Structure 1
């Protein structure tokens, strides 16, 4: 019977044989830095209220997604002041959030959208607006006023016992409007219309302002879920205050 002897040979002792590093050994591959955010194009053709309104509070970006800050700017504006689209776009929201009227417009040709509050909207979701179009028309909640034909009362408004509702008026679910309130006729633009810069999309509501005793318009700008400074939409000539001055021509 033949016997076979097995010899234990250490692998490290064999010439030309090296241990390869394991796939999971060492530091992980570096994560590439995120691409810088695209700049905001200065496409606004006007302010949302007035010609050069006072900025009561500027943009204060939060350090974290849920941290404190001011996600927009507050512009001084009297109650009932028309709110205009700063650039062409499509209305993606027009309704009430936490008791405040809100209008949001996706800006044409960009991945940006602007928000305006508190606003009594005169546009509907899906409409396209031009620059300068009015987004709302001076409804005042709690003041005596009539609801005109085809007017639409937003959700949360309550129609009082003596309120006048015109033919074809639509009252949102649970919408409260004080007794004898009157909404102007034609406040709501038909679905599918386009809005452009300067189109009126609503008016500043007298209640619900977070500016204390001063009524104001809160103007916001977003790219996805990230808040941006809405003033960056304004070209330099709209940011400058006061008239330009021409120096006199002097001879030698």
Structure 2
């Protein structure tokens, strides 16, 4: 196949990337940036009532966060240190967003805020309280918790570390 020879003859840098300049540092793949570990926004560690479901397209269907079982009035905690960048209503629901180092933004809803936009918050600080009325919540109240880096939604559970014991499970993947 003629195209196979073209691929084999391609330079050592990745196709579609900028070739290395002698003496310059290698390009950084933004997807390879190590993301911080986040703490749970509710205490004690809550039950997940609905899991993350990444959309196939930017405007496609999906669930861009997780829903956590809560009780109305339960304190919502900052998942990491950051700055409150939004506290208001979106589509009729009270939402809060906090920007963190590494380009992450966490979002919490429905929340009655106790902090103001522009306020610096620390990990574990009370941001507000959970309100009842999250659509599709099967318990008294649910906190929808989302994480985004730029335009990419990330599963919050992939960034969360629970205190306690960890066990490795067998993996049936490749060699």
TM-score scaled by length of structure 1: 0.52
- Aligned pair count? 142
- Tell me the equivalent position of 2:40: 47
Is the alpha carbon distance of 1:125 and 1:97 closer, same or farther for their aligned partners in structure 2, counting shifts above 3 Å?
same
- Tell me the equivalent position of 1:117: 109
Deviation at 1:103, TM superposition (A): 0.7
Map 1:59-74 onto structure 2 (within 5 A). 59-74=52-67
Give the gaps of 5 or more residues in structure 2: 1-13, 19-28, 167-175
Q: Does 1:206 align with 2:170?
A: no
Deviation at 1:33, TM superposition (A): 5.9
RMSD: 2.3
- Tell me the equivalent position of 1:37: 31
Is the alpha carbon distance of 1:98 and 1:121 closer, same or farther for their aligned partners in structure 2, counting shifts above 3 Å?
same
Greater fraction strand: 2
TM-score scaled by length of structure 2: 0.73
The structure with the largest alpha-carbon Rg is: 1
Give the gaps of 5 or more residues in structure 1: 1-29, 130-195, 245-252
Greater fraction helix: 2
Separation in 1, partners of 2:138, 2:159: 28
Is the alpha carbon distance of 1:68 and 1:128 closer, same or farther for their aligned partners in structure 2, counting shifts above 3 Å?
same
